[in-house]
Chains A and B, each alone.
Chain A
Amino acid sequence: RMAKSNSSVSPEQVVNTVCAHNCGGRSRLACTVRDGVLVRVEPAPAPDDAYTGLCVRCLTLPQWVYSKERIKTPMRRVGPRGSGQFVPISWDEALDEIVDRFNALIDAHGSSSIAFVRSTSASPIASYTRLASLLGGGGTSNFYGGVDMAVHMGLNSTFGDKGMYGQHSNEWTDRLNSKLTIVWGHNPAETAMTAMRHLLNARDAGCQVVVIDPRYSATAMHANWWIAPRPGSDLALALGLLHVLIVEGLIDRPFLFDHSCAPFLVRTDSGKYFRSGDASTSEKPSAPQVWDLHSGRAVELNSTAAPALEGRFEVNGVSVATAFTLLTDSVAKYTPSHVAELTGLDASDIVDLARTYAKAGPAQIGLGYGVDRYKHSELFARAAAAIAIVTGNIGKPGAGVGVQSHYHGSHPARLGPGPALPKWASTKPVPMIEVGRRDLPVRAVFCQGDWINQRMGDMNTSLAYLKTLEFVVTVDHFFQTTTQWSDIVLPACTFLEDNSAARDALVFGNSIYLRPKVIDPVGEARTDFEIERDLARRFGLGEWFRESSEDVVRGQIDGARDPAFDNITYDQVVQAGGAIRLNVPTTPHVQYGNDGFTTKSGRAEFYIEELAELGEALPAFVADHEALLTHALAERYPMLLVQTHARQRAHSTFFNTAWTLEIWPEPILEMNPDDARQRGLANGEMAEAYNDRGHVVARVVCNPDFPPGMCNITEGWKQQQYADGNVQELTNSEINAGQTLIWGHANIPFFDTRVEIRPAALKRQGAEA
């Protein structure tokens, strides 16, 4: 057969890069560029072949980059706030205006009157943080936190702080070493599709896959065992499993002795650890003491070979108990029959799951963000961690507990430092969940991405706050909700566009990756690096910024002191096509295999003494969140509304890609067919979900994958895509005191959202958003 003529084919090149979006897959992409246009994205070989592959979202990058929503020039608002009326202006005009307005506000009201905030719907590369910390002599406000952090908080509390999105789970490929994996509130088949391959590989190799999810997700349909507890009752189930494990003695005593807080003595009066000098309470805190079974005294841990794991004792008139005894007592009431009432499961299933997990062999618990978006999800994560701790199912191949929805968990390696900052450079953190809900000194906000639509609950409150601001600047790729309410809009390059040879470097998949320029900037878009640098120069802060991002990246790779980077230079990575395998082991990374826990005690701490005053030193089922049927709002608003992730988007990124919009064209309100019938609704009809906070109108899809009482609108649709309202008008922003006490901020509980549903008249939304 004759090959087709290529005579009319224009010159093309293939550039390899790495996806930048927030599913965390970090797929290596081969991008075909023809006549300067990105026309095709395919999987490119990754240095570690386990990570070769991409997902449907990556495939839509060409139309994402050129979508009709793309912002092509800097813009200034001309109509009323929120009217969406803008005129193009030059970069010089835009940057000068920002600098003049910010300088005037800082002079009049101090630097905390300026706030920076970002959302992953814009350029995902950490930007504007240097400018934020330098501006006004340090002290600008920084809106931080948001959502998908509660499970990390719980794991960080237990094992040591690994940062806001710190990973505690083993590498995806380690699933092959597990005999059983509990996939809990985690749905990689729809959220992190490149992770799903590893779960299926493990299942097909004989690992038992247990999916815990109230909904029959695309991951649940592939499980060996699907367990559907009542939505929001996961914590009760975890405590019930702990109960069975401890009562039946399915515990790893050596692990508890050597690697956990189990033997530490706790004062039963205050809930604080018992320390030497505790009776006088005047000395500085030292390490918690343990009970020495030989001498019958409280002693330092390292001075006894026979500490007690269990027991209640008296020391100098002070009642103490081991942390393990307190855990045992605290889960005593979570009997299988009681937990069956709380979760809607059978008691026998709870017993069977605990036994199966404990006896399987190495087993993992992989958490996702489906269990993150309730008010007490940090307590759930601590309970899940405690399950792994009491059974010693951690730190071994095939054994671990952690968030698996985000990133590979591959071998870590540290890049060298970026350019230095002066000591005084800093920002004042403002928890995102409190923005608009308490008085702040902020008068102007510099937004990166669609913050209001995606990172804040209770949208009407957030929009009301936005209207109080004197000046709003947004840097984004696309016109979205926050841009509509801005005064100046700046067009940012996507991760595919650049003028520099290396946009950034990242460690992923046991490799070092570069992101090179794939295509020229679209329209007049500039990279975040250039925008930040040029703003800084206008503020007189240019000395703290390098000329190009390539300078920064070269310094980070050539200056890396981590042995994983031995004999790896920036030039070598470029010559190798932008990716090289690091000097790390070829076996899957196992968390806490060699490294100790980074808690104060160096042990896994299921007991958190700082939370004793709130009654949360041990995880307990605090049944006050809106999701539960026992909540006061449940009668008035009988439906629980969640927002699962959609296959077509990473959060709201890719809201505008034509090919996937052909498949999934509009927001749909999914609910159990019985719930629809009871409300006089049928497939395809328009319905309104409402509560005291707001409303949304969407097309009904009757789907028995959802239990009665639960409904869903996938997250990340934009204001203009709804027939009326917005799912974020309905969401909850109740603040969790325990999270705030330990971490200084709280997770936004998007899934603690009760609604009622009624038929909606078909009408388009007016011009006013």
Chain B
Amino acid sequence: MTRLAMVLDLDRCIGCWACAVACKQENSIGEGLWWQKVDTVGGETIDTSVGVFPDVRKYYQPRNCFHCADAPCIPVCPTNAIVKRDDGIVEIKQELCVGCGKCEPACPFDAIEMNVVAPLLPPGLEKGHGAAEVQPRVAGVVEKCSFCSHRVDAGQDPACVAACPTQVITFGDVDNPESRVAAARRSPGAFRLGEDTGADPSVWFLPATQGELQRRSGKPSGSTAPRKPKGLS
């Protein structure tokens, strides 16, 4: 059997969002929706760490649909609009979706979003952008990452894989032991999110260890309390 999968080496991710923007462009996704996101694992807001300087820590974790082998979104769909292809890609058939929204909470990974309004595209690109093979997005249906099935069918890597400047993502048939993605999956420490869900996701991560392993030198430069009024007007 073919099982298309991804392995993301988090020790090479720089949080640049090229994967996510390439995805948005390729699939003509409207304002406010992202099929791929890059989580900052650290502080409260994007690009911030947790901790006290210089003992701080953060890493980046791109996240898309995990194309689970036992995808929980499929059985809850009343119109059979979500299907699993023979190669493992979990795909939404837009023309069958009635927008009931049952699949959204069924996904343990928050990978499905409702396109509530007609997609808003940037000026000059209102007729759509990205691949011609991608169906125009419409209001009232759910959407999510397709592993760029149209590119896979043409023998290409998904747009996120092609765009990543630091080559974080390995893509291919994880059931083929000779494949690069199978080798990457066998790397020490490889893990998946949501092992306990039983969904059997097809996206693995290699852990971000550099921040823990690295040596650090330096200390805070001292008090920087705000200046006192001292009679200044």
Contacts and interface: CB of A to CB of B under 8 A. Distances in A.
B199 interface: no
B58 interface: yes
Contacts of A757: 226
Contacts of A42: 22, 159, 162-163
Given A55-B165, A59-B21, A224 B215 contact: yes
Contacts of B224: 638-639, 675, 678, 708-709
Contact of A704 (B48, B167, B210, B211): B48
Interface in A226-273: 226-231
Contacts of A675: 224
B165 A196 contact: yes
Contact of A193 (B18, B26, B51, B215): B18
Nearest to A709: B224
Interface stretch (B38-46, B99-107, B170-178): B38-46
Interface stretch (A62-70, A138-146, A436-444, A479-487): A62-70
A193 B165 contact: yes
B16 A193 contact: yes
Interface string A652-679: 0000001110111000001010010011
Name, among B15, B122, B221, the residue most crowded by chain A CB atoms within 10 Å (CB to CB): B221
A514 to B, nearest CB: 23
Contacts of A224: 210, 213-215
Name, among B47, B219, B227, the residue most crowded by chain A CB atoms within 10 Å (CB to CB): B47
Contacts of B222: 629, 708-709
B56 A223 contact: no
Interface in A328-363: 344-346, 349, 353
B123 A68 contact: yes
A190 B35 CA distance: 23
A56 B166 contact: no
Contact of B129 (A40, A702, A709): A40
B124 interface: yes
B70 interface: no
Nearest to B50: A704
B153 interface: yes
B125 A705 contact: no
A706 B132 contact: no
Given A37-B124, A344-B221, A704 B227 contact: no
Given A53-B165, A193-B166, A196-B165, A39 B125 contact: yes
B217 A225 contact: yes
A216 interface: yes
B43 A704 contact: yes
A222 interface: yes
Contact of B54 (A1, A63, A228, A639): A228
Contacts of B167: 197
A254 to B, nearest CB: 32
A128 B86 CA distance: 59
Contacts of B127: 35, 37
Nearest to B129: A39
A225 B86 CA distance: 46
Contact of B227 (A66, A216, A218, A638): A638
B226 A679 contact: yes
Q: State which size class the interface on B falls in.
A: 35 or more
B225 interface: yes
A221 B24 CA distance: 27
Contacts of A344: 218-221
A371 interface: no
Nearest to A233: B221
A744 B24 CA distance: 48
Interface residues of A, number: 87
Interface string B1-37: 0000000000110111110111011100001100000
Contacts of A197: 165-167
A707 B54 CA distance: 7
Interface stretch (A3-11, A500-508, A722-730, A745-753): A3-11
A663 B17 contact: yes
Given A35-B127, A707-B53, A707-B221, A6 B14 contact: no
Interface in B195-214: 210-211, 213-214
B24 A54 contact: no
Given A54-B18, A664-B46, A704 B31 contact: no
A193 to B, nearest CB: 4
Nearest to B60: A218
Contact of B14 (A189, A227, A639, A701): A189
Given A4-B135, A638-B224, A701-B48, A63 B122 contact: yes
A683 B45 contact: yes
B122 A66 contact: yes
A214 interface: yes
A708 B214 contact: no
Given A638-B225, A703-B43, A658 B216 contact: no
B117 interface: no
Contacts of B11: 222
B59 interface: yes
Contacts of A659: 21, 24-25, 122
Contacts of A56: 16-18, 21
Given A56-B17, A227-B217, A638-B225, A67 B45 contact: no
B62 interface: no
B4 to A, nearest CB: 13
A230 B16 contact: no
A683 B214 CA distance: 29
B131 interface: yes
Contacts of A37: 124-125, 127
Contact of B123 (A66, A218, A709): A66
Name, among B16, B43, B45, B227, the residue most crowded by chain A CB atoms within 10 Å (CB to CB): B16
Contact of B48 (A3, A189, A638, A703): A703
Interface in A697-723: 701-710
A425 interface: no
A756 interface: yes
Interface in A53-106: 53-56, 59-60, 62-63, 65-68
A660 B52 CA distance: 29
Nearest to A672: B53
A190 B128 CA distance: 29
A194 interface: yes
A39 B18 CA distance: 16
Given A54-B18, A629-B222, A216 B24 contact: no
B223 interface: yes
B12 A200 contact: yes
B85 interface: yes
* Nearest 5 A/B pairs, CB to CB: A66-B124, A228-B218, A709-B224, A189-B14, A63-B122
Interface of B: 11-12, 14-18, 20-22, 24-26, 31-32, 43-54, 56, 58-60, 85-86, 122-125, 127-133, 135, 150, 153, 159, 162-163, 165-167, 210-211, 213-227
30 contacts: A6-B133, A9-B133, A40-B25, A62-B25, A63-B122, A66-B122, A66-B125, A67-B122, A67-B124, A68-B123, A189-B16, A196-B14, A197-B167, A204-B12, A216-B58, A225-B214, A227-B218, A228-B218, A344-B219, A345-B219, A629-B221, A629-B222, A635-B227, A637-B227, A647-B15, A663-B21, A675-B224, A707-B54, A708-B224, A756-B227
Interface of A: 1, 3-4, 6, 9-10, 12, 34-35, 37, 39-43, 53-56, 59-60, 62-63, 65-68, 189-190, 193-194, 196-197, 200, 204, 214, 216, 218-219, 221-231, 344-346, 349, 353, 629, 635-639, 647, 658-660, 662-664, 670, 672, 675, 678-679, 683, 701-710, 756-758
Given A12-B132, A54-B163, 15 more contacts: A1-B85, A3-B153, A55-B165, A62-B124, A62-B129, A63-B123, A193-B16, A216-B53, A228-B218, A228-B219, A639-B224, A703-B48, A708-B53, A708-B221, A756-B226
